[in-house]
């Protein structure tokens, strides 16, 4: 029997492997607009926040230029570089087969999310609700995106969890009153998500936990 009636997921670094896509998109923007080289840890430090905030962290005065350069490169290369983490499609199928409601809660913009979803039908077909950046005025680490997903699903926070790889995900889930599940295969090390209720290191273990087998 599933552990939760509703399971919500972050997208990047949780359901889909976008590390190379985002790394190259950010590097293109920073190199093209600012003429700078930047180490990966600095490029990816704010993944999980809205892209506008990530670009402003590089240069607040040129954030819009950076945003446009990043999105143009990202959209052109999404289908080429995005992929689900191994086992995620099967895990989602198992959850749906057991009667769980599922959702994705992300800080990505709607059009960018749609490109990702279109490239991954095995994920898209098994998600009941999608909350993107434009759906709320306050974003992670605030609770609003998670609460909106619960509302759209008619779900109770006490019977729900939020799975993510970033400290922003853990904070948002906790503020929304759901169980928080941190995963270590994404953008952030285990120490960054140590405050999660549960920390899980691989997809099979996540499936076992969500299905009540662990």
Cβ atoms of 182 and 162 closer than 8 Å: no
12 is catalytic: no
Do the beta carbons of residue 85 and residue 17 sit within 8 Å?
yes
Rounded to an integer, what distance in angstroms lies between the CA atom of residue 83 and that of residue 68? 23
Q: Looking at the chain, which residues constitute the CATH 1.10.150 domain(s)?
A: 19-81
Set 10, 12, 17, 165: catalytic member: 10
Distance (Å, rounded) from C-alpha 12 to C-alpha 165?
8
Q: What is the pLDDT along the chain (214 residues), one digit of tens a residue?
A: 999 999 999 999 999 999 999 999 999 999 999 999 999 999 999 998 899 999 999 999 999 999 999 999 999 999 899 999 999 999 999 999 999 999 999 999 999 998 888 889 889 999 999 999 999 999 999 999 999 999 999 999 999 999 999 999 999 999 999 999 999 999 999 999 999 999 999 999 999 999 998 6
Fold of the 19-81 domain: DNA polymerase; domain 1 (1.10.150)
Q: Quick one: fold of 6-18+83-210?
A: Rossmann fold (3.40.50)
Question: What residue ranges of the chain are covered by domains with CATH 3.40.50.1000?
Answer: 6-18+83-210
Q: What is the pLDDT of residues 1-48, one digit of tens each?
A: 999 999 999 999 999 999 999 999 999 999 999 999 999 999 999 998
**Beta carbons within 8 Å of 121's beta carbon, 6+ residues apart:** none
**Among 124, 90, 70, 99, CA closest to 6:** 99
Distance CA 95, CA 141 (A): 26
Closest C-alpha among 6, 4, 8 to residue 162: 8
């Amino acid at each position: 029997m599933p552990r939760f009636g509703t399971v919500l997921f972050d997208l990047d670094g949780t359901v889909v492997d976008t590390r190379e896509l985002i790394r190259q998109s950010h590097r293109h923007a920073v190199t093209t607009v600012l003429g700078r080289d930047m180490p990966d840890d600095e490029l990816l430090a704010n993944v999980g926040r809205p892209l506008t905030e990530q670009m402003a962290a590089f240069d607040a005065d040129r954030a819009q230029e950076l945003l446009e350069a990043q999105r143009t490169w990202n959209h052109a290369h999404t289908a080429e570089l995005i992929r689900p983490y191994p086992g995620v499609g099967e895990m989602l199928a198992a959850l749906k087969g057991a009667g769980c409601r599922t959702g994705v809660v992300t800080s990505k913009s709607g059009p960018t999310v749609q490109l990702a979803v279109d490239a991954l039908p095995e994920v898209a077909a098994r998600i009941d609700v999608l909350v993107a950046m434009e759906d709320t005025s306050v974003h992670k680490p605030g609770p609003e995106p998670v609460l909106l997903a619960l509302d759209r699903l008619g779900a109770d926070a006490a019977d729900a969890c939020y799975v993510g790889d970033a400290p922003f995900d853990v904070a948002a889930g906790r503020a929304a009153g759901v169980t928080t599940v941190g995963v270590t295969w994404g953008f952030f090390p285990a120490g960054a998500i140590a405050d999660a209720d549960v920390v899980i290191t691989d997809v099979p273990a996540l499936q076992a936990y969500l299905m009540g087998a662990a």
